[in-house]
Amino acid sequence: MPLSPVPIPRRFEGRSVVVTGAGTGFGAEIAVRAAQEGARVVGVHYRASKAGAERTAERVRAEGADVVLLQADIAEWPKVAGLAEEAFERLQGVDVVVNNVGDVAREQMSWRDITEESVDHVLAVDIKGTMACVHEFGKRMLEQGHGSIVNIGSTVIVRGSARAPQYAAAKYGLLGLTKSYAHAFAPTVRVNVFAPGFIETEATLGREDWKSGRGDQLRRMTPMGRIPGPRSSPARRCSSPPTTPRT
């Protein structure tokens, strides 16, 4: 039987949502999806890609939500504090924060290429930056009496990364800080991790190792034989159960 689309839920009806790193890739799609699910306003954060953030904003507005552009380097704690303060003021409170920003050491093709500078930067963004966002947004959510924080992790925590060990270490650390703040903020504010696998963003597709065979290798290792892009197609369902088993 043909597949029929599953309606998009309205989980963010009337809510305010902030997405960090929403100028491109996965973050942009999260911001748009928040609008599709009924968010009244979406805070689109960016560090340097203002043009990308403005493109995301146009897509969010097309889905019926208001947009607030927010600029900050989350590797610097005082700037994160300013970001949270600005977001709460301009969005009239923040119901949801999705901490999407993360540095994957994209230019590093092998563990042999690791540098102290790269280690410092990845840890500053992925660990300190995410912790600062959880801390600064979370304490303001406690004051307003509710909120939800979602940190974007990675399946690298279970498989490791021979290419970039510092990235795997950072994402593993994300589990610790998430569990810690989940306890600290409970029951008023929820803090969780969502850990996706590989996603073929434009940046990933442009990596030399991906173009020279790693992408093909990973597709062969994936049961579905494909790796999704940041914009997944609308969820679909079977209109009736399959009559033959799948192998």
Catalytic residue among 46, 167, 172, 181: 167
Closest CA to 89 of 107, 68, 104, 117: 68
Does residue 46 have an active-site annotation? no
Instruction: Determine if residue 109 is left, alpha or beta; phi over 0 gives left, psi from -120 to 50 gives alpha, anything else beta.
Output: alpha
Nearest to 94, CA basis, from 53, 54, 144: 144
In 17-56, which positions are buried (b, 16+ CB within 10 angstroms) versus exposed (e)? bbbbbbbbbbbbbbbbbbbbbbbbbbbbbbbebeebbeeb
Q: Give CA separation, 217 vs 10, 17, 120, 211, 212, in Å.
A: 37, 37, 30, 11, 10
Tell me the CA distances in angstroms from 164 to 11, 41, 105, 107, 247, one per residue in order: 36, 36, 7, 10, 35
Helix (H, G, I), strand (E, B) or coil at 3: strand
Q: Which amino acid is at 191?
A: V
Catalytic residue numbers read 167
